[in-house]
Structure 1
Amino acid sequence: MSRLLCIDDEEVLHAFQQGDRNAYELIYDKYWAILYRHARKMLQNDEEAKDVVQEVFVMFWLKAQDTSIHVPLAAFLYTATRNKILDQIKHSKVKAKYMTSLKNEMENQVQPPDTLVRQRDLAYQIELEIKALPAKMREIFELSRKEYRTHKEISEYLNISDKTVKKQISNALHILKAKLGPLLIFFLLLSTTW
Structure 2
Amino acid sequence: MLEQGEEGILRVNTAQVGEAALWEDFMQGDAGAYALLYRRYFFDLYQYGKKISDDQDLIKDCIQDLFVKLWHNRGNLNQTTSVKYYLFTSLKHKILDVLKSAAVRYRAAEDPLELDMADENTGEESYDDQRADVLRALNTLSRHQQTLLHLKFNKERTNQEIAAELGITIQSVYNAVFKALRSLRKQLH
Q: With structure 2 as the length reference, what TM-score do the two structures score?
A: 0.49
Structure with the larger RCO, 1 or 2 (CA within 8 Å, 6+ apart)? 2
Q: Give the number of the structure whose residues are more often helix, by fraction.
A: 1
Bigger CA radius of gyration? 1
